[in-house]
Structure 1
Amino acid sequence: MAITSEEALVKAVKGAAGPISVQGGGTRGLPATGQVMSLAGLQGITLYEPGALTLVAKPGTHVAEIEEALAAENQRLAFEPMDHRGLLGTSGTPTIGGVMAGNISGPRRISVGAARDFLLGVRFVDGRGAVVKNGGRVMKNVTGYDLVKLMAGSYGTLGVLSEVSMKVLPRPETQATLVLHGLDDGAAVAAMARALGSPFEVTGAAHDPATRETALRIEGFEASVSYRLSQLQSLLAGAGAEVEQRDAAATQALWSGIRDVAAFHEGQGDVWRVSCKPSDAPGIAARSGAERWTYDWAGGLIWLRSAAGHDLRAAIGPMDGHATLVRADAQTKARLGVFHPETAGVARLTAALRAQFDPKGIFNAGQLDRAA
């Protein structure tokens, strides 16, 4: 079912006789739970006002097209959405609708916020086939129910996006990275926490236990970056690590790899994504039974690779966070579930929202509603 207009989307939803799997660029490998509805043809930037830092686009618009348009005006998507294709071995092209539906946010989330924080307004079609509009083109336009934030991260279970309005930001003049060598997981998480607590505006904090490299990114005007980098190095002098500074080109390559989890592109095994308190991260990783892991968001995000079929949630046990199964075969995803089981209270809220927005239960059925 290929959708090329909002009118066709409304007609398709109203006429649906069974479950629908909403799909954008098809790059994230989520299991289909019904007839596939592709929004890849519903594309195009409908409004871009660089002076107002605002861009409006249809959901099938390629992320690369948006980034190219923004780069021409020296602007960017500050939340740097991940490209899943290298990790999952999928084809297709990432779309802005998929990014917003999944709230896909990269390393810069710790400094600027998540994708949902840049979403100003949405148009979507609910399970009855009604067109709903919420928000606008400026931050102050959110009134009543904040459906904008609700749609971001709902993975198409409450409605199908037909248009998104976003805030964009200027691109900084330059960037650099301070790399600490030789720290173990606990020391690295402590160093990242200290860096983020400093006044030096760190925009990325990641650690790879395999290489024992801890990366701290700084962006801005060249003179400011140089000063803050030297001050950060002095601040962390007591961490007991060898220190290296990387320039703008090396920084771009390094953080693109961190964003897209390049460490796990090669090799076999399941890949999990765990969101947790940074201070809990080393303990969670240690008891996970995983073969390899990396930290992003100063430890608030752990990427883990385990043996195929390993129940990482069971190995970790109770935790203040959630674990998402990102890469595995269909049987493992069906057995363990892609998303972390919801608590009873959250499951009741989810069911109530689904009943309101998708009373027939046709959108991406079974994706998010696994109760603990």
Structure 2
Amino acid sequence: MHMPADEAELAEVIAATAVPLAVVGGGTRGVICAGEGLSTSAISGITLYEPGAMTVVAKAGTPVAEIEAALAAENQRLAFEPMDHRVLMGTTGAPTIGGVMAANVSGPRRISVGAARDFLLGVRFVDGVGTVVKNGGRVMKNVTGYDLVKLMAGAHGTLGVLSEVSLKALPCPETQATLVLHGLDDAAAVAALASALGSPYEVSAAAHDPQTRETLLRVEGFEASVAYRIQSLRDLLGGEATVEQDPTARWDAWRDVDGFAENDRDVWRVSCKPSDAPDLVARVDADAVRYDWAGGLIWLAVARGYDLRAALGAYDGHATLVRGNGFARFEQEAAGVARLTAGVRARFDPRGVLNAGLMG
């Protein structure tokens, strides 16, 4: 396992390699590519934090927990609440900010504030020939040509290896509460979530658990505003409902899909139009289901080797294998998209040495 201590050593390793490199951060997501291991975990540390500007710059191997602790001391946070994969995947180590950004890991709050990539202001990375590249900065600005900041978020290390990221933070809310609707079936729950998101009451997370028939709506902000919006949602949606005043633990567990951790099933995540979600779930033989993002994200636990993509058939979305073997992790791209992807990869990793084969 290569463990460069800084960006210069990282560039040397990539430039000198004659074989593919399997790039990891903290190694918590359990993704294993062919080739020699390359970990960025030693390239660590917060290099700049300006609370007044709500901007933090950190090296790629910096543990997410370290960044969260620094932000919390100033009553700030990473608004996109990235998932911790260790519970689901049974892995050890520590999630790193580079790994989070490389995979664009975004939690339940995505529906209200956006994805991880939307908080990424700038990046430094090493491309597939060992060249150090910098793009973006410490403030939001328009770009021309390649928007490498957005391109690197979600590329899973196939275009370059992140060495440093610049992020925008947000203030922590004064309080939060969750309205829990009881007894709704999947279709009624997704309809209720859509109504809530279409209301003026600023819902920050919207989810449904078919097993317990609990439908969850989180509201955050000033105490008086939260109380008003919770009651307004209760009046809008009707039915049996309760309110949880301190739902942090519930949403952390939901974010990490900890209910799927104890079984030995394959785990998939399906991105789709929220209104399509109940019908898609009805097409498959799943042992456990969770709806997040108001139905736009479905978590499914299925029998080992079950061909979920075949069971789903045609729909507007895609399925990603998170835990399991026997299938490609990502969907096969359409021909036109595949040509564009190949062109971009040829520009940034012409030798094909970075996480080869991971994304097709």
Residue equivalent to 1:155: 156
Letter in 2 for 1:345: G
Residue equivalent to 2:251: 255
Residue equivalent to 2:262: 266
Deviations 1:124-156 (A, max 9, x none): 111111111111000016443211000000000
The answer to whether the 8 Å contact 2:26/2:99 transfers is: yes
The yes-or-no answer on 1:345 pairing with 2:341 is no
TM-score, reference length from structure 2: 0.99
The yes-or-no answer on 1:246 pairing with 2:247 is no
Alignment RMSD (CA, Å): 0.8
Structure 2: gaps of 5 or more residues? none
The answer to whether the 8 Å contact 1:274/1:324 transfers is: yes
Letter in 1 for 2:132: V
Residue equivalent to 2:79: 78
Deviations 1:190-209 (A, max 9, x none): 00000000000000000000
The answer to whether the 8 Å contact 1:288/1:313 transfers is: no
Residue equivalent to 1:60: 61
Q: Secondary structure at the match of 1:314?
A: helix
Deviations 1:141-175 (A, max 9, x none): 64432110000000000001011000000000000
Letter in 2 for 1:349: L
Residue equivalent to 1:364: 355
Residue equivalent to 2:316: 320
Matches of 1:197 and 1:191, distance apart in 2: 10
Matches of 2:132 and 2:44, distance apart in 1: 17
Letter in 1 for 2:337: V
The answer to whether the 8 Å contact 2:125/2:162 transfers is: yes
TM-score, reference length from structure 1: 0.95
Matches of 1:323 and 1:141, distance apart in 2: 32
Residue equivalent to 1:124: 125
Matches of 2:166 and 2:144, distance apart in 1: 15
Deviations 1:80-138 (A, max 9, x none): 00000000101111000000000000000000000000000001111111111111000
Q: Secondary structure at the match of 1:86?
A: helix
The answer to whether the 8 Å contact 1:40/1:61 transfers is: yes
The answer to whether the 8 Å contact 2:33/2:358 transfers is: no
Matches of 2:41 and 2:146, distance apart in 1: 28
Q: Secondary structure at the match of 1:214?
A: strand
Deviations 1:252-297 (A, max 9, x none): 0111111001111112211000010000001111112222110000
Aligned residues: 359
Matches of 1:128 and 1:8, distance apart in 2: 13
Q: Secondary structure at the match of 1:157?
A: coil
The answer to whether the 8 Å contact 2:64/2:97 transfers is: yes
Partner residue of 1:300 out of 296, 301, 306: 296
Letter in 2 for 1:164: V
Matches of 1:273 and 1:111, distance apart in 2: 20
Residue equivalent to 2:113: 112
The answer to whether the 8 Å contact 1:135/1:143 transfers is: no
Deviations 1:202-249 (A, max 9, x none): 000000000000000000000110011111110101xxx31000012x
Matches of 2:71 and 2:318, distance apart in 1: 33
Matches of 2:45 and 2:225, distance apart in 1: 37
Residue equivalent to 2:196: 195
Structure 1 consecutive aligned stretches of length 4 or more whose deviation exceeds 3 Å: 141-144
The answer to whether the 8 Å contact 1:290/1:312 transfers is: no
Matches of 1:327 and 1:364, distance apart in 2: 18
Letter in 2 for 1:38: S
Structure 1: gaps of 5 or more residues? none
The yes-or-no answer on 1:51 pairing with 2:49 is no
Q: Secondary structure at the match of 2:60?
A: coil
The answer to whether the 8 Å contact 1:136/1:142 transfers is: no
Matches of 1:81 and 1:219, distance apart in 2: 17
